[in-house]
Structure 1
Amino acid sequence: MKVISTNIGTATTVTWNGAEERTGIFKYPANEPLFLGKTDVKGDTVIDRVHHAGIHKACYLYSSGNYDYWKGKYPHLDWDWGMFGENLTIEGLDESVMRIGDIYKIGTALIQVSQPREPCYKLGIRFGTQEILGQFIDHNRSGTYVRVLEEGHIQKGDNVQLIEQSTNPLTVQQFFELMFVREKPRDTLDLFMANEAVPQYKKERYKKYLK
């Protein structure tokens, strides 16, 4: 895997449900390296810090391999890297293989896979339709948020090196599927609850499915 693009955004004012609000989802390729801090990417815009950024969502990675699929569905859009609000567009990222808890070295930063991206209405604003939310879930390629274990700089062309694979086999894709299926598979739930890298607040929400 390697970094295809580093992306940051500035605050953009949009209209949602008749009211103006600001969002940082409009990210575009940056010409300079990004600095990954413990809770966010330096210089990036994060408006809603309840649902974005923080220790468990310090940076968002998305696969460049998904872009052709979405370009086919939305050919009229002005395409560039960063369309999904990702800070890092990664070549070769595979959610069906990447495990929650995997640790990677990128540039001078050390990161750990923490949780998949759950799409919200702001992705719909970026794409011009809220239909993208259901399509994103159905496509089952979520990208992943990471926590930053060691702060550092990342630039285009950097390799994404697996340093330590999680001993718990729960994948990003399994985590993503778990969020949206009505009947939660018990074997996946057990992996989810036992995975030390799954944020504790997520586990609290899913305890009810163990009964």
Structure 2
Amino acid sequence: MSAPTEAVSLTICDVLAGKAVEFTRSGSRSAIAKSPLEGRQRITTLGIAGDEQGDLRVHGGPDKAIHHYPADHYDRWRDDIGAHPLLDAPGAFGENISTHGMTEDAICLGDRFRLGTALVEVSQSRQPCWKLSDRFAVPDMARRVQDAGRTGWYYRVLEEGDVQAGDRMTLEARPHPAWPLARLIDLLYRRSPEPALLRDVLVLPLVSSWRTLFERRLAQGAVEDWRKRLTGASSHE
């Protein structure tokens, strides 16, 4: 495993969690409303102890144990959608970790961080869904997040530990410096598949769903329909 190419260390502004409750649409549940936690919090292989997910088919699990969303993006969202009460406090995007000083262009797939006393690894960027649109009451918010590349990212937990606001988060290894998340996000949502790039990305240690997606694109030469994820509607509607 390669050593970091540069020292990266920042302060954790907030650690957040939420409970799954009934959401906006019939039969839906969500824990997207996260609130800051005080004191030390346990990190397990499934994330922040006590945090919940509303739909375990697409949220949570070892490869999506912790969601990190940069507080740096909040001002840019105010520029895009105007003043919004959700942007007045951390947790607007359902994040578990909030920091200043690092965004998708400065973090790479597979980066390993000491998060408090836990060791975590960047597993994938977030693929926004319709619940963000409903939460913000902005009909195309999920699409805006995707198009802007301001998605945040997920960690898997390699070593359990504890964390609290004010702890340091320090990069310990960067095995894939050529693949910042911004580059992966651009490739993920690019409408014209490029076979050479797809072959390059398939060498990376991708989560199984991403590997399947990129293999299918390479085989079919086409990008999938995102409508159901972004709007909740069937692709036939």
Q: TM-score, normalised by structure 1?
A: 0.91
**Quick one: distance in 2 between partners of 1:50 and 1:131?**
23
Q: Do the aligned residues in 2 keep the contact of 1:168 with 1:195 (CA within 8 Å)?
A: no
Q: Do the aligned residues in 2 keep the contact of 1:84 with 1:123 (CA within 8 Å)?
A: yes
SS in 1 for 2:12: strand
Q: Do the aligned residues in 1 keep the contact of 2:110 with 2:175 (CA within 8 Å)?
A: yes
The alpha-carbon deviation at position 57 of structure 1 amounts to: 0.5
2:85 aligns to what? Answer: 77
1:204 aligns to what? Answer: 212
The one-letter code of the counterpart of 1:208 is R
1:163 aligns to what? Answer: 172
Stretch of structure 1 that moved more, 113-122 or 74-83: 74-83
2:143 to 130, 134, 137: 134
The one-letter code of the counterpart of 1:193 is L
The structure-2 alpha-carbon separation of the partners of 1:30 and 1:74, relative to structure 1 and needing over 3 Å to count, comes to farther
Identity over aligned pairs, percent: 29
1:31 aligns to what? Answer: 38
1 or 2, which has the higher strand percentage? 1
Is 1:63 matched up with 2:70? yes
SS in 2 for 1:92: coil
Q: Do the aligned residues in 1 keep the contact of 2:112 with 2:171 (CA within 8 Å)?
A: yes
**Quick one: distance in 1 between partners of 2:65 and 2:41?**
12
Stretch of structure 1 that moved more, 165-174 or 2-11: 165-174
Which of the two has higher C-alpha Rg? 2
Is 1:101 matched up with 2:103? no
Unaligned 5+ segments in structure 1 are none
The one-letter code of the counterpart of 1:207 is E
The structure-2 alpha-carbon separation of the partners of 1:183 and 1:77, relative to structure 1 and needing over 3 Å to count, comes to same
Q: Do the aligned residues in 1 keep the contact of 2:109 with 2:179 (CA within 8 Å)?
A: yes
1:41 aligns to what? Answer: 48
**Quick one: distance in 1 between partners of 2:89 and 2:21?**
17
**Quick one: distance in 1 between partners of 2:217 and 2:29?**
36
SS in 1 for 2:186: helix
The alpha-carbon deviation at position 20 of structure 1 amounts to: 4.5
The alpha-carbon deviation at position 179 of structure 1 amounts to: 2.1
Unaligned 5+ segments in structure 2 are 1-9, 220-237
**Quick one: distance in 1 between partners of 2:62 and 2:155?**
8
SS in 1 for 2:75: helix
2:188 aligns to what? Answer: 179
SS in 2 for 1:46: coil
Stretch of structure 1 that moved more, 128-137 or 148-157: 128-137
Q: Do the aligned residues in 2 keep the contact of 1:22 with 1:47 (CA within 8 Å)?
A: yes
RMSD, aligned CA: 1.7
The alpha-carbon deviation at position 71 of structure 1 amounts to: 2.6
Q: Do the aligned residues in 2 keep the contact of 1:170 with 1:188 (CA within 8 Å)?
A: no
Deviations 1:68-89 (A, max 9, x none): 1123324132421011000001
SS in 2 for 1:71: helix
Number of aligned residue pairs? 208
The structure-2 alpha-carbon separation of the partners of 1:82 and 1:160, relative to structure 1 and needing over 3 Å to count, comes to same
